Chain A
C-alpha cells in the first residue's frame, strides 16, 4: 500500500484532532478528582487528605490474633503462598504485604540498648508499607509504575512495572516484594501458590516479574470499607486521615507516645506505632 502526500496530511490532521480530543477526556477525568482505577465517583468511597495508620499491638494477645490480620490481607489480595517451597528459598523469595517482627528489627535505628524494658523487646509489631509522604520508591521508579495518590496512598501499577527492582533498593522499610516466580504457578509438588478454591475473584492475581506491596486496600476504601487488616485487628490497627485533627488516629498520636520507622531518612512514614503499652500510657 502506498499513500500520497495529500492522504498523509489528512491522516496527520485526523490523528491530531483525535489526540487532542483524547487529552481533553483525560483532563476531564483529572478535574473530577477521581483516583486511578476509578471510572465514576462512588458515594460510599472513604476519602482523606492523607491516609495513615496507628498500630497499637498491645491490643493483641495471641499469635493467632496477629495471624488473623495477616491472613485477612493476604487472602483477599491473592498474595502467593510459597510455603510449599524449601524453607531457604521461601524465605528469600516470599511475597508479603503485612507481617510481624520484633522491636529491634522494626526500628533498627531507634534508641535501644540492653537495659531497656524487656517487655518492649519482646513486643511484636506489624510491618507493612508506610505510604510515605516523601516515598523514595516513587522517586526512583523509571516508569511511574509506582505513584502516590492524592490521598497519600502509594500505589503500584502491576501492568506498567518493568521489574527493575529499583524501588526495592530504595525502600528503607523492606516493604516491597518481587515475584521471583510465577505467582499463578505451582511449586514442585504441584501445589498452586494461589489456591484456586480460595482465590478472591474480585482482586487480580499478579504476573511473574513485577513488584507488589500493601495498597492500603484502595479497592475496599472505594466501597466504603476499612482496610482488611484494620478490620480484623480488634483495634490494634487504626486507619484514618492524618490531616484531620479530629480523626481518631490524630487523637491517639496527640495523646500517646508513638514512633515511626526510620524517621531520620525524611520519607515521612504514615504509620505511627504506639509504644509503651497503651493503657498505662493513657
Chain B
C-alpha cells in the first residue's frame, strides 16, 4: 500500500520537500548538539529537562487519544467513526514516533539507548515507559495497516486483529499513565507530586488529541476527495468538550490544594508560572495565554450552535490545542523545576538550536503522518 505515497500532486510533493528541508536543517543542528553536548540548549543543572521532554510528554497524550475513536467504534459499534478511526490510529503512529525521537535527542549519550533494554530495570518508570511506548507503536502499526489493507480489498479485517484492537484500549491508557508516573512519583518536586497527575494527563490527552484530529480531518476534506463527514467531526467535538472540562476541573483541583493548604512548597510553582517568583516571570505570558485560550475554547465548544459551525469548531480546536501544548508541553515540565531544590529560581528558555531540533522532530512526525494519511486517503478515494 505504501506505493500510494509515491504518487501525488505537485502540492503533495512540495509539502514533502518542505518537510524534508526542515528535517535536513534540524539534522545538521542535531549533529552540532551531538558533538558539543546538550550545553547548546537552554537546560541547566537546575532545569535539567526542557522543551524536548515537554514535547515528549505532550505527544504521548496525542498518541493515546486514538483510543477516543477506537472505543466508540469498536466497543460501542458507533458506525459513524468507521471512516476516520484509521486517521486516529495513524496519528498515534506519528505521535509515538515523535515521542521516541524527543527522548533520543534529549539523551546525553544517545548511542547507549539500548542500555535500557540490555539492563532492564523494573523499578524505573522510564524502563516501563519505553516498554509501553514500543508496544503501542507496534499495536497501532499492525492494527492500522491490517484494517486499511482489508478495507482496500473490500473485505472485513481478519479475526485475529480484534483482540489486538481490544488490547490497544487499555494500552493507550497505560502509555499516558506511565508517562505521568515519570513525574508523579518523584519526591521533592511539589508541582509533580500529585495523585491526579495521570488523570489530568488523560483528560488533556483526550481533548488535545481529538482536537488535533478534527483539524486534520478538516484539512483532509479540503485537500482531498475523501470527506470524513460532518457527523463524525461533531461527535469528536463533543469528546473534546467533555475531556477539556475534565482537564480544567483537574487543574482547578491543583490550585485549590496548593492555595487552601497554604503550604509554600506547593504554591511556589504556581506563583512562578502564573505570577512570577522573586522577579522571575518568563513563563507568565505563556501560561496566561494558555488559560485564556482554554476558557475561550470551552465557551465556543460548549454552546451547541457555535460548535455546530465547523469554522468556529476548527478555531476552537486550534486554540485549545495551543493552550494544552503550552500547559503540558512546556509549563508542566518547567514548573516542576522552579523553584529548584534550594528554593531558588533558575529560569529556562529554549535556545535557537533547541527550537530547530524540536521543529525538526515535529517535521519528521508530520512527514510520517503525511505519508500514512496519503495512503489512507488514497484507499478511501478509491472506495468512493
Question: What is the CB-to-nearest-CB distance from A163 to chain B, in angstroms, rounded to a whole number?
Answer: 2
In this assembly, does B130 line the interface, its C-beta being within 8 Å of a C-beta of chain A? yes
Question: What is the CB-to-nearest-CB distance from A157 to chain B, in angstroms, rounded to a whole number?
Answer: 10
> What A residues does B284 contact at CB under 8 A?
none
Q: Which of B68-76, B182-190, B365-373 contacts A (4 or more CB under 8 A)?
A: B182-190
Closest to B348 in A: A92
> What A residues does B39 contact at CB under 8 A?
89, 93, 180-181
In this assembly, does A179 line the interface, its C-beta being within 8 Å of a C-beta of chain B? yes
The answer on a CB contact under 8 Å between A180 and B342 is no
Query: In the complex, which of the residues B45, B123, B126 has the most CB atoms of chain A within 10 Å of its own CB atom?
Result: B45
In this assembly, does B346 line the interface, its C-beta being within 8 Å of a C-beta of chain A? yes
Q: A92-B45, A178-B38, A265-B188 are in contact. Are A142 and B127 (CB under 8 A)?
A: yes
| B108 contact from A94, A141, A165, Cβ within 8 A | A165
> What A residues does B115 contact at CB under 8 A?
142-143, 145, 160, 162
> What A residues does B109 contact at CB under 8 A?
161-163, 207-210
The answer on a CB contact under 8 Å between B45 and A136 is no
The answer on a CB contact under 8 Å between A171 and B37 is no
In this assembly, does B107 line the interface, its C-beta being within 8 Å of a C-beta of chain A? yes
The answer on a CB contact under 8 Å between B187 and A265 is yes
CA distance A5 to B90 in the complex (A): 42
The answer on a CB contact under 8 Å between B37 and A181 is yes
What 0/1 readout, one digit per residue, does chain A (108-147) give for beta carbons within 8 Å of chain B?
1100000000000000000000000000100111111100
Closest to A95 in B: B45
* Residues B335-365 near A (CB distance < 8 A): 336-337, 340-344, 346
In this assembly, does B125 line the interface, its C-beta being within 8 Å of a C-beta of chain A? yes
The answer on a CB contact under 8 Å between B119 and A108 is no
Q: A164-B126, A174-B341, A180-B43 are in contact. Are A136 and B108 (CB under 8 A)?
A: no
In this assembly, does A182 line the interface, its C-beta being within 8 Å of a C-beta of chain B? yes
In this assembly, does A166 line the interface, its C-beta being within 8 Å of a C-beta of chain B? yes
The answer on a CB contact under 8 Å between B37 and A172 is no
| B107 contact from A141, A164, A171, A172, Cβ within 8 A | A164
What 0/1 readout, one digit per residue, does chain B (236-262) give for beta carbons within 8 Å of chain A?
000000000000000000000000000
The answer on a CB contact under 8 Å between A144 and B119 is yes
CA distance A52 to B186 in the complex (A): 24
In this assembly, does A257 line the interface, its C-beta being within 8 Å of a C-beta of chain B? no
* Residues B116-130 near A (CB distance < 8 A): 116, 118-119, 121, 123-127, 130
Q: A174-B45, A182-B36, A182-B37 are in contact. List 17 more A-B contacts (CB 8 A).
A: A136-B187, A140-B125, A141-B121, A142-B127, A162-B107, A162-B110, A163-B108, A164-B103, A165-B48, A165-B106, A169-B336, A172-B188, A178-B108, A207-B109, A208-B37, A209-B37, A266-B187
